[in-house]
Amino acid sequence: MRRDIFQAIADPTRRAILVLIALQAMTPNAIAEHFDSTRQAVSKHLRILTECELVRQEQKGREIYYQLEVEKMKEIDQWLDQFRKIWEVRFNQLDDLLVSIKTKQKK
């Protein structure tokens, strides 16, 4: 079963995991140390992120390291970009309106 990437990132713990491993690959135990949940709960989050291809596993000796899959994050960014452009236009319109109101108040 392929999971929905947006459902995966909707969870605050999974977003926090992505932030943690964005800088360096980490083992599940190292990741679990940052949360007040069980190692099993963190493993479930990692499994979901792996199924969504947001993280990938790399075996180094006896340890498994999880690291961010940057290309998949770029897909999310591209999808969000369409909304970013709309927000920028609306914020610019709001700025123009506020300047107009401020100018009228000075007169």
Tally helices (H) and strands (E) across the chain.
Answer: 5, 2
Whether pLDDT at 4 is above 60: yes
Q: What is the pLDDT of residues 51-82, one digit of tens each?
A: 999 999 999 999 999 999 988 888 888 888 98
Cβ-contact 76, 15 below 8 angstroms: no
Amino acid at 11: D
The DSSP code for 99 is H
Q: Kindly give, in sequence order, each residue whose CB lies less than 8 Å from that of residue 65, ignoring residues fewer than 6 positions away.
A: 25, 26, 27, 57, 58, 59
> In which residue are the tokens 């605050």 written?
12
Residue 19, number of CB atoms within 10 A of its CB: 11
Q: Please report which confidence band the pLDDT of residue 2 belongs to, taking 50, 70 and 90 as the band edges.
A: low
| pTM confidence score | 0.75
b/e 70-87 (16+ beta carbons within 10 angstroms → b) = eebeeeeeeeeeeeeeee
Q: What is the pLDDT of residues 7-59, one digit of tens each?
A: 899 999 999 999 999 999 999 999 999 999 899 999 999 999 999 999 999 99
> In which residue are the tokens 């970009």 written?
81
